[in-house]
Structure 1
Amino acid sequence: MKPRSMMVLVVLLLVFMVGSKSVYIVKETERAVLLRFGEIVDDDVKPGLHFKIPFVNTVRTFDGRVLTLDARPQSFLTLEKKRLVVDAFIKWRIQNVGKYYTATSGEEFRAGDVLSTRVEDALRNQFGARTLNQVVSGEREELMEQVIQDLSKVAQDELGINIVDVRVKRVELPAEVSESVYERMRTERQREARELRARGRELAEGIRADADRQVTVIKAEAYREAEEIRGEGDATAANVYSSAYSRDPEFYSFHRSLNAYRNSFGGEGGDVLLLDPSSEFFKYLSEPAGAR
C-alpha cells in the first residue's frame, strides 16, 4: 500500500473515532447530565441525539424510571413502648438530575443508603407517636401518608429525588416475645370460650326447666279436662241408664240377672258355688213365668 493511501486511511479512522465520540443518545427511560472536565454544563439533557466535544465533555446517564428500594428491617418502639420489627420498601425516581449527581456522584447505592436512613428516621417518629393497634390496623394509611410527606421534602432537598410511595411490608413482634404474646392471646381466647360455654349451659338449664314446667302444666290441665269430660260422660250415662231403667224396672232386673248368670256359670275355672235354690238369685230360673 502506498504511503499516501495509508495516510488517508489513518485520517479517515481518526475522523470516525472522533465522530463516534462526539455523538451520544439519551433514551426516553434515562436522565442525563453533561459534564466538562467534571463540572456540570447541562443538568438535564433531554432524550434524543446530542453532540459533545470529545475528551472535554462527559455524559452520565441514569435510570429515569420508578425504582424500588427495600429498606433494612428495623426495630421501632410504639407509644406504649412495645418493640416491633418493621420491614418497608420505597418507590422513588430522579427529579433533579444535577442535584442527584452532586449528592451521590450518580451512584445508586449511595442514594439507597441515604434513603434508608431517612426512611428509618421517619418510621421511627411515626411509630413512636402511635399505639400498637393504630400502627397495625387503625391508622396504617395515615401513617404512610405522613411518612411520604416528611420524606419527600428531605429527599428533594438533599438528593434531588421524588418519593413516589412508601409501604410497610411486614410488622412483627420480636421473636423473643412473640411466643409469650401468642400464649397470652390463647389464654384470653380460652377464657372467653369458657365464659361462653358456661353462659350457654346456664341458658340451656333455664330452657329445660321452663320446658319441664310447661310439660307438667300441660299434663295437669289435660288430666283436669279429661276428668271433667269423664265426669260429664259418667253423669250423662247415669242419666241415660236411670231414664232407661225407670221405663221398665222388671226388664232391667231380668237383664241384670242374665248377666249375673253368664258371669257366674260361664267361667272356665271350674269354681263351685253353694247357693240356696230358693234364694233371690235364682228367681228367674225357678219361676220364669211369675218373674214378670
Structure 2
Amino acid sequence: MRLTTLIIPALVVAAVGAMSSLFVVDEREKALVLQFGQIRDVKEEPGLSVKIPFIQEVVRYDDRILSLDTDTIEVTPSDDRRLVVDAFARYRIADVVKFRQAVGAGGVRLAEERLSSILNSKIREVLGADQVTSDTILSENRAELMVRIRNQSRSEALGLGLDVVDVRLKQTNLPSQNLNATFARMRAEREREAADEVARGNEAAQRVRALADRTVVETLSEAEREAQVVRGEADAERNGIFAEAFGADPEFFAFYRSLQAYENALQGSNSSMVMTPDSEFFDYLKSDQVSQ
C-alpha cells in the first residue's frame, strides 16, 4: 500500500510533465521556444515538438498575411492642395526571431503601432515629393505611388521582422474646410459653362429666327408680286372686255356702267341720297325708252 501510494503520484507527475513537454505547431503559425525570456528554438514547420516543462514556454505567431488600417493623415502634394489620406497594408511576420527581438512581449499590437508609423511616414514622403500633384494622386497613376510606398515601407519594416506585401490608398479626399470652396469653384465653373451654352443657343435661335423672318418676307413679297401680276392681267382682260363692249354698243355700255353706279351707291337697307330730280345720275331711271 505504501509503495502504491508513492507510485501513483509519481505517475501523475510524470504524465503531467510529459504533457507539458509536448506542443503542436499549426500550419498557420510559427512558434518560438523561450527559456527565461531567451530564444532557445524556432519552430517554423508544423507538427509535434518538445520543450522542457515548467522551464521553457512557447510563443506562437500567426504566419498568415495580416491586415492593418492606418490612421487618417493630411498630406500636401507639390501643388499645395492638401488631401486627407488613409490607407491599408497587408503584411506578414517574415522573421520571428527579429520580430521577437524588436517588439518583445508587446507582440502584434506593438508591431502594428510601429508599422503604422512607418507607413504614415512613407505616405507623407512619397505623396509630398516633387512632381507629385493632387491630380496625380487622384488619377490612375497613383498605382505607381502605392508601389513606391510599399517598397520604401518594406525596407524599413524588415528591421521589425515584417514583410510588407501590399499597400493601398483607400481614400484621398479634400479636407472638410476646403470642400465648400472647391464645390463653390466647381459650381461657378459649371454655371459659366451653362451660361455659355445658353448664349450660344440664343445666338443660334436668333439666326434661325432671322432666317425664318427673311423667308417669310421673301415669300410674302413673291406672293404679292405674283398677285399684282395676276390682278394686273385680270384688270387688263376686264378693261379689254369693257373696251370691246363699249366699241360694240356705247349706249349699252353706258347703261351697264349706270347700273354698277346704282349698285355701289345704294348698298345696305338704310341708304339715302339727296340730289335734284333732273340729275344725270337718274337718266336711265327717268327715260322710258333707250335712244337708238
- The residue that corresponds to 2:119 in the other structure is 119
Kindly tell me the number of residue pairs found equivalent between the two proteins.
288
- Residue by residue, what CA displacement relative to the aligned partner does 1:220-268 show, whole Å, maximum 9, x if unpaired? 3332233233323333444455556666666545544444455567864
CA 1:244–1:40 in 2, change beyond 3 Å: closer, same or farther?
farther
1:276 aligns with 2:278: yes
The structure-2 alpha-carbon separation of the partners of 1:137 and 1:62, relative to structure 1 and needing over 3 Å to count, comes to same
In structure 2, the residue matched to 1:170 is: 171
Which residue in 1 is equivalent to 2:9? 10
Counterpart in 1 of 2:143? 141
Quick one: distance in 1 between partners of 2:59 and 2:208?
Answer: 84
CA–CA distance in 2 between the matches of 1:266 and 1:120? 106
- CA distance, structure 2, for counterparts of residue 74 and residue 283 of structure 1: 117
**Contact kept in structure 2, 1:91 and 1:164, CA below 8 Å:** yes
Q: 1:281 to 1:147 in 2, by over 3 A?
A: same
The alignment partner of 1:163 has SS state of strand
**Equivalent residue number for residue 229 of structure 1:** 230
Distance 1:261 1:120 in 2: 113
Distance 2:255 2:137 in 1: 106
Seen in structure 2, the aligned counterparts of structure 1 residues 192 and 176 have a Cα distance that, compared at 3 Å, is same
Which region of structure 1 is more displaced relative to structure 2, 124-133 or 76-85?
76-85
How far apart are the structure 2 equivalents of 1:149 and 1:50?
36
CA positional deviation for 1:127? 1.0
The amino acid that maps onto 1:132 is: S
Query: Quick one: structure 1 residues 235 and 48, their matched pair in 2 at CA, closer, same or farther if it must change by over 3 Å?
Result: farther
Moved more, 172-181 or 66-75: 172-181
**How does 1:28-43 map onto structure 2 within 5 Å?**
28-36=27-35, 38-43=37-42
Question: Which has the higher mean CA deviation after the structures are superposed, 175-184 or 132-141?
Answer: 175-184
**CA 233–8 in structure 1, closer or farther in 2 if over 3 Å, else same:** farther
What RMSD over aligned residues (CA atoms) do the two structures have, in Å?
Answer: 3.4
Using the size of structure 1 for normalisation, the TM-score is 0.78
The AA in structure 1 aligned to 2:128 is G
| Cα separation, partners in 2 of 1:211 and 1:255, compared to 1, 3 Å | closer
Amino acid at match of 1:32: A
Q: Which whole-Å CA distance do the structure 2 matches of 1:174 and 1:3 have between them?
A: 82
Structure 1: 5+ residue stretches without partners: none
Distance between the aligned counterparts of 1:225 and 1:12, measured in 2?
134
1:127 and 1:135 in contact (8 A); partners too = yes
Q: Secondary structure at the match of 2:20?
A: helix
Summarize the Cα distance change of 1:144–1:237 in structure 2 as closer, same or farther, 3 Å threshold.
farther
SS at match of 1:105: helix
Q: Determine helix, strand or coil for the equivalent of 1:274.
A: coil
Judging changes above 3 Å, is the alpha-carbon distance between structure 1 residues 272 and 76 closer, same or farther for their aligned structure 2 residues? closer
| Corresponding residue of 1:81 | 80
Aligned counterparts of 2:32 and 2:159: Cα–Cα separation in 1: 18
Structure 1 residues 163-172 or 239-248, which shifts more? 239-248
For 2:265 and 2:136, the matched residues in 1 are separated by: 99
Structure 1 position 112, deviation (Å): 1.1
TM-score (ref. length: structure 2): 0.78
The answer for the alignment partner of 1:59 in structure 2 is 58
State, as a whole percentage, how many aligned pairs show the same letter.
Answer: 36
Q: Structure 1 residue 23 and structure 2 residue 25: aligned?
A: no
Q: Secondary structure at the match of 1:276?
A: coil
| In structure 2, C-alpha distance between the alignment counterparts of 1:188 and 1:24, rounded to whole Å | 69
Q: Distance in 2 between matches of 1:231 and 1:265?
A: 28
Structure 2 unmatched runs, 5+: none
2:66 & 2:200 partners in 1: Cα distance?
57
Asked whether the equivalents of residues 126 and 145 of structure 2 are also in contact (C-alpha less than 8 Å), the reply is yes
1:54-96 deviation line (CA, Å, top 9, x unaligned): 2354322112233222222223221133433322221212233
Distance in 1 (CA, whole Å) between partners of 2:7 and 2:240 is: 154
